[in-house]
Structure 1
Amino acid sequence: MTDDSNYRQYNIPRSDVVQCVEFSPFEWSSKLLAVATGSRVAIFSCRFQEEDNEVNGFEYNHIREFKLDCKSSAIAWSPGTSLSTLPKVMCFIAAGVDYKLRLLQSDLKDDDTVLAFEGHSSYVNSVTFEPNQGEQIASTGDDLTCRIWNKDGDMLTLFQLTSPGMSVCWHNEEDMKILVGQKNGVIRIFSLHNQQPIMSLNCGQTPLMSTDWSRHNCLLVGAIAGSDWMMFDTSLSSQPIEKRQAHIDGGKIFRWSRCHESLLATIGRPGRQIKVFNTRHQQLHINTSLPVAYGLTWHLNLPIIAVGGDKRVHIWVVESA
Structure 2
Amino acid sequence: MEVCVEPTLSIRTNSEVVCVEFSPYEWSKSLLAVAFPNAISLYSLKLKEESENGKTELSLLCESHLEGEVCAMAWSPQTSLHASPPLLKLLLATTDDSVIEFTTDLKTTNVKEVFQHSSSINSVAYSGLCSSSSQLPSLCASVGDDQLLRVWQEDSDEDSTNDDGGDGAGGWSDSIMLMEPGQTVRFHPENPSLLLVCEISGTLRLYRISQSQDDSGQPMLTADWSVRCPAPMLDADWSLCDPNLLVAACPAGVYIINVDNNGSARKRLRTVGSSGSSSVVTVRAARSTAALVAAVTADNTLSVMHLTANRIPLVAHLKAVSGISWHLEQPYLAVGSDRRLLLWRVDHV
TM-score by length of 1: 0.94
Mean alpha-carbon deviation: is it higher for 183-192 or for 147-156? 147-156
Q: Quick one: distance in 2 between partners of 1:174 and 1:129?
A: 12
Tell me the residue number matched to 1:318: 346
| CA positional deviation for 1:117 | 2.0
Mind listing any 5+ residue stretches in structure 2 that lack a counterpart?
131-136, 156-167, 211-219
Tell me the residue number matched to 1:121: 118
SS of match in other structure, 2:17: strand
| Equivalence map 1:76-87=2 (5 Å) | 76-87=74-85
SS of match in other structure, 1:18: coil
Contact 1:33 1:43 in 2 (8 A): yes
2:267 aligns with one of 241, 250, 255: 241
Tell me the residue number matched to 2:19: 20
Q: Quick one: distance in 2 between partners of 1:72 and 1:263?
A: 27
SS of match in other structure, 1:15: coil
| CA positional deviation for 1:57 | 2.4
Matched, 1:89 2:87: yes
Contact 1:272 1:290 in 2 (8 A): yes
Tell me the residue number matched to 2:256: 231
SS of match in other structure, 1:217: coil
Mind listing any 5+ residue stretches in structure 1 that lack a counterpart?
none
Tell me the residue number matched to 2:37: 38
Matched, 1:175 2:192: yes
Q: Quick one: distance in 1 between partners of 2:263 and 2:228?
A: 10
1:214 aligns with one of 231, 234, 239: 239
Tell me the residue number matched to 1:265: 294
Contact 1:75 1:94 in 2 (8 A): yes
Tell me the residue number matched to 1:58: 56
SS of match in other structure, 1:28: helix
| CA positional deviation for 1:54 | 0.8
**Matching residue's letter, 1:192:** I
Q: Quick one: distance in 2 between partners of 1:307 and 1:107?
A: 26
Q: Quick one: distance in 2 between partners of 1:294 and 1:221?
A: 22
TM-score by length of 2: 0.86
Matched, 1:274 2:291: no
| CA positional deviation for 1:158 | 0.4
Tell me the residue number matched to 1:255: 284
Q: Quick one: distance in 2 between partners of 1:185 and 1:142?
A: 14
User: Rg bigger for which structure?
Assistant: 2
| CA positional deviation for 1:16 | 0.9
Contact 2:75 2:91 in 1 (8 A): yes
Mean alpha-carbon deviation: is it higher for 8-17 or for 84-93? 8-17
Contact 1:166 1:181 in 2 (8 A): yes
- Structure with bigger strand share is 1
**Matching residue's letter, 1:214:** S
SS of match in other structure, 1:17: coil
| CA positional deviation for 1:55 | 3.8
Tell me the residue number matched to 2:216: none
Contact 1:177 1:192 in 2 (8 A): yes
Mean alpha-carbon deviation: is it higher for 230-239 or for 167-176? 230-239
**Matching residue's letter, 2:316:** T
Backbone CA RMSD of aligned residues = 1.8
Provide closer, same or farther for how the CA distance between residues 115 and 282 of structure 1 changes in structure 2, counting only shifts above 3 A. Answer: same
SS of match in other structure, 2:27: helix
Tell me the residue number matched to 1:147: 150
Tell me the residue number matched to 1:195: 221
| CA positional deviation for 1:320 | 1.4
Contact 2:92 2:100 in 1 (8 A): yes
Tell me the residue number matched to 2:217: none
Matched, 1:186 2:203: yes
| CA positional deviation for 1:74 | 0.7
Q: Quick one: distance in 2 between partners of 1:231 and 1:3?
A: 19
**Matching residue's letter, 1:128:** A
Identity percentage of aligned residues: 28
Provide closer, same or farther for how the CA distance between residues 8 and 294 of structure 1 changes in structure 2, counting only shifts above 3 A. Answer: closer
| CA positional deviation for 1:309 | 1.1
Mean alpha-carbon deviation: is it higher for 6-15 or for 251-260? 6-15
Contact 1:202 1:239 in 2 (8 A): no
